Structure 1
Amino acid sequence: MMKEQLQVMLRLQDEINSVVNADWRGQKFPWYRAIWVESAELLDHYGWKWWKKQSPEMDQVKLELVDIWHFGLSLELQHGAPEIVAERMIAELQASKPTAGDFREHLEAFTLNTLASRSFDLVGFAQLMADVELEFAELYQRYVGKNVLNRFRQDNGYKDGSYVKTWQGREDNEHLAELSGALDTAAPDYSEQLYRALQSRYQAVAVA
């Protein structure tokens, strides 16, 4: 199941990158820089200030990890087709052995490795997942939801500014969470089902 889900995510990432730029591989975008910036946002949600009381906002922490995963997959896809990349990533993930320690220090190590190598530190990312108890199945569900929403936005005018992000007083990500909760995430066509459900609701709102 893990291999199949990883292949799905790689395929979806390739597709959304191609929507944004058909020659995205040739552009050599600085995905590592996006990971660095997202890591700083992640740390803010986790908390790092010693001069005020802070508690980790775990849902936001996981959302930021999913955003980092998008950019990480893009870096991995620079090296080959989804099926080939998936094989290597699975081997790395299965060989990784997360250890106990401070999440913030693990995040800093992950970020330093990313900046130094300008590549995706998959082992470091697995450590961060373990630190916040983000299982691979949950990563898959959250990733597919965010990916589908990104593609849906692009298909409905996000780039030219005509897309309406709030429907019936609720943001699109709230509709996404509600619709995804009613679907079987293990279904092979989960992403297609979710996209169709979003499209149906968005059209219904537009007609109303």
Structure 2
Amino acid sequence: MQQALENMLAMQHSMNTRVHEQWIEQQFAWYRAIWIECGELVEHYGYKWWKKQEPDMAQVQLEVIDIWHFGMSALFAPGKPQRELAAEIAAEVSGFEPAGLDVREATEALAQHALETRSFSPARFWELMLAAGLDFETLYSAYVGKNVLNFFRQDHGYKEGTYAKTWQGREDNEHLVEVMDTLDGGAGDFADQVYAALEQRYREATGAA
């Protein structure tokens, strides 16, 4: 777990640096992104008791991964080595025993913590991760996939506003789910395969050069 956490932290640092070179010193409001993503997750899971709703668990799990991106970012601090941060996360979730919350309850607990403390709780995230049907192995492979999508977005004009997030009537997150289902998450070049598959779909759907 330690090495996988270090890998993810390194990937997150690389992504955040792409957006802003001194992102750690900027102390962005990551907690705000966390609780807003929690709201989006509940939308996919369903909360309207007055109408029929079926949880879209694939999208719920992608929202969990999005929260993990922002959560890891919130834990960075100036001068703190990534190895030390990975060790702290591993220590907090080692031997974690879930409280048995359902997806909505676990999401609300994480959002409440973010709002009250303006920070991120790996333990509360672990509760949500397990409630959503993920484990650490699937978290890792899904994180790699979404990290690749984030780089793909940046490479294709996301920051400049020229990237088309919706292809053929579906968001790129949905395309990512389909792409990852066709690939071997344990492959050494898994990230490269995901990027290449997204590139092909994007060009076919949008006519991008």
TM-score by length of 2: 0.84
**The residue matched to 1:184 in structure 2 has which SS?**
coil
Unaligned runs of 5+ in 2: none
Matches within 5 A, 1:159-198: 159-165=159-165, 172-173=172-173, 176-198=176-198
Corresponding position of 2:66: 67
Query: Could you tell me how far 1:38 is from its partner in structure 2?
Result: 0.8
Alpha-carbon shift at residue 156 of structure 1 (Å): 2.4
Aligned to 1:16: 15
Q: Name the CA distance, whole Å, in 2 between partners of 1:197 and 1:184.
A: 13
Cα pair 2:58 2:177 within 8 Å, conserved: no
Change beyond 3 A, Cα 1:126–1:162:
same
Describe how 1:79-90 pairs up with structure 2 within 5 A: 80-90=80-90
**Greater CA deviation, 83-92 or 197-206?**
197-206
Q: 2:9, 2:82 within 8 Å by CA — same for their partners in 1?
A: yes
Counterpart in 1 of 2:120? 120
Write out aligned runs for 1:29-48 (5 A): 29-48=28-47
Aligned to 1:6: 5
1:125 aligns to what SS in structure 2? helix
**Secondary structure of residue in 2 paired with 1:160:** coil
Percentage of matched positions with identical amino acids = 50
- The 10-residue stretch of structure 1 (191-200 or 151-160) with the greater mean CA deviation from structure 2: 191-200
Q: CA RMSD in A?
A: 2.6
Q: 1:3 to 1:183 in 2, by over 3 A?
A: farther
How many angstroms apart in 2 are the aligned matches of 1:55 and 1:13? 32
Q: Separation in 1 of the partners of 2:56 and 2:178?
A: 21
Q: 3-state DSSP class of the match of 1:194?
A: helix
Give, in angstroms, the shift of residue 145 of structure 1: 1.1
Code of the aligned partner of 1:22? E
Gaps of 5+ in 1: none
Indicate yes or no: 2:146 matched with 1:146: yes
Return 41-50 or 156-165, whichever deviates more. 156-165
1:55 is displaced (CA, Å) by 2.6
Quote how far apart the aligned CAs of 1:34 are. 0.6
1:96 corresponds in structure 2 to 96
Between 81-90 and 8-17, report the one with greater CA deviation: 81-90
What CA distance in whole angstroms lies between the structure 1 residues aligned with 2:132 and 2:202? Answer: 34
CA distance in 1, matches of 2:53, 2:191: 36
| CA shift in 2, pair 1:170/1:104, >3 Å | closer
Question: Shift in Å at residue 151 of structure 1?
Answer: 0.7
Q: How many residues align?
A: 206
Contact kept, 8 Å, 2:65 with 2:143, in 1: the verdict is: yes
